[in-house]
Amino acid sequence: MPLVSILDELKKAQAEGYALPCFDTFEMHGTLGIFDALEAKRAPAMVGLYSGMFDRPHPRALADYVRAMAEEATVPVSIILDHGASFEHCMLALSLGFSDVMYDGSQLPLEENIANTRLIVRAAHAVGAAVEAELGHVGRGAEYQRFGGQGKGFTDPGAVEYFVAETGVDFLAVAVGTAHGLYEGDPRLDLELLGQIRQRVDVPLVLHGGSGLSEEQFRAAIAAGISKVNIFTDLAVAASARLIAAAGAEDASYFGMTRTIREAFQERCTHYLDLFGATGKAEG
């Protein structure tokens, strides 16, 4: 399908009460597994490429590969820059044909986050891409008890309306108790805060740091107004576990290992598509 922004699909998800996943990828075999799942489950989704790709060799080759996969897919798939570190990274992503970008100014003072986001929104909209920004800061799971566990860094509900109006951002990542990577202790979601944010703005809301939440927590977050969920760590953990288990087998092989990565990604992505209610939403 032609590559287009995911915004319309996100608005549909918001209106109908399900969520779309953003699965990050760093290489080819995991990517194949993601698309296997999306095709089999007839689900729209985003594939995320992390902004750090621009600090590593061959960012264009990876972007071209994922973009070709998305264009060959028979379901709507957007390529989104994940945690865009700067205006420059967001512009590089757009120049490589990304259909959406996230800019992450969540660690900057509010007015600086607003100024940078506004500039990126203007540039992205000029080429038909939508923009995600982050208000409040979703930190690292390894440090969870120092912030999330104490309610620190959460999105200020009083600033949400102002931020969206000032920036013109299309969808918004919020900090309501999740964290990136593996959690130290158990995650606690502030669903009341999420509900307050939901009431104040119309844009689709995004949950980062999904890996490690229980199925009940995912369902509750989506019921409280989350329309996009970012998932990566769980895919990587599942693939790693399978590779370690497979490595000791008599018939372990290079090609077998690449299939193992692909199958692990497909299985976990399938699980999330069903859990989020995205299955079958590519049609109608």
Q: Is 154 helix (H, G, I), strand (E, B) or coil?
A: coil
Q: Which is nearer to Zn ion, 90 or 282 (CB)?
A: 90
Closest contact distance (angstroms) between CB of 21 and Zn ion is: 12
Task: Convert residues 226-255 into a mask of x (bound to Zn ion by CB under 5 A) and - (unbound).
Answer: ----x-------------------------
C-beta of residue 143 within 8 angstroms of C-beta of residue 153: no
Residues annotated as part of the active site: 82
The least CB distance from residue 89 to Zn ion, in Å, is 14
Burial 135-159 (b: 16+ CB within 10 A, else e): bbbbbbbeebeebbbeeebbbebeb
Binding of residue 41 to Zn ion (CB under 5 A): no
Q: Cα–Cα distances in Å, from 92 out to 51, 55, 67, 71, 263?
A: 10, 12, 14, 20, 31
| Interaction of residue 268 with Zn ion, rule CB under 5 A | no
Q: Which of 41, 67, 198, 208 binds Zn ion (CB under 5 A)?
A: 208
**Tokens representing 175?**
């900090």
Instruction: Output the smallest distance, CB 101 to Zn ion, in A.
Output: 13
Q: How far does Cα 153 stand from its chain's mean position? A: 19
Q: How far is the CB of 47 from Zn ion (least distance, A)?
A: 14
> Is 245 exposed, middle or buried (CB count within 10 Å of its CB: 0-12, 13-18, 19+)?
exposed
Contact present, 44 and 282 (Cβ < 8 Å) = yes
Q: 77 vs 207, which CB is nearer to Zn ion?
A: 207
CB of 155 within 8 A of CB of 176?
yes
Give the residue with the Cβ less far from Zn ion, 229 or 261.
229
Q: Interface mask (CB under 5 A) for Zn ion, residues 158-197, using x and -?
A: ----------------------------------------
Instruction: Name the residue nearer to Zn ion (CB basis): 116 or 230.
Output: 230
List residues binding Zn ion (CB under 5 A): 208, 230
